[in-house]
Amino acid sequence: MLIRGKAWVFGRNVNTDLIFPKIWFRPTYEPGEMASHLMVGIDEDFPKKVGRGDVIVGGQNFGCGSSREEAAAAMKEAGVAAVVAPSFGRLFTRNAINVGLPIVTSPRIDERIGPGDEIEIDLAGGTLRNLRSGYATRLPPMAEESLRLIEDGGIANYTRRVLAQRRDAGLKMPE
């Protein structure tokens, strides 16, 4: 999976209350609705600025705080190609993998990428390059299971497939 996109850079300890504020919580969402609130806790105009294929770069502990899946799901829906930071909140990491949003950890990467830089990420090959500055780094290997889940398009596709396999196998389904 090769990703190439323009970087949007954010700071340290950006919590999910900022990425997707609670006032926008809904029991169900219309298509495009989550994306229209992405990052508005920091920048109200961000949903208009961010383009499909762009890359979000965060500081240390990006996506900390609450479990809200909307934080990662809104990025996926906005067409964000990957999210990159030195470290992430654990629930954000999990949610990103589950919604099929490539999530990349790399030490001090926020110091190596500036706003608008063109970034290239090879998930399978484990490399990240800043095409503007020429900076290149190897990425710590991601668990195979997680990479597969991302490439699968997330946990929804995985679940659909396992349910179908169970039905095909004639396994007893709960009544």
Q: How far apart are CA 21 and CA 19, in angstroms?
A: 6
164 binds other proteins (CB under 8 A): yes
106 binds other proteins (CB under 8 A): no
Q: How far apart are CA 75 and CA 122, in angstroms?
A: 19
Piece of the chain touching other proteins by CB under 8 A; list 1-9, 114-122, 123-131, 152-160: 152-160
Minimum CB separation of residue 131 from other proteins in Å reads: 29
DSSP assignment string, 33-86: TTGGGTTTTT-TTHHHH--TT-EEE--TTBTBS---THHHHHHHHHT--EEEES
Q: Among residues 26, 49, 52, 138, which is the contact residue for other proteins, using CB under 8 A?
A: 26
101 binds other proteins (CB under 8 A): no
Minimum CB separation of residue 46 from other proteins in Å reads: 14
Radius of gyration of the chain measured on its C-alpha atoms: 17
123 binds other proteins (CB under 8 A): no
110 binds other proteins (CB under 8 A): no
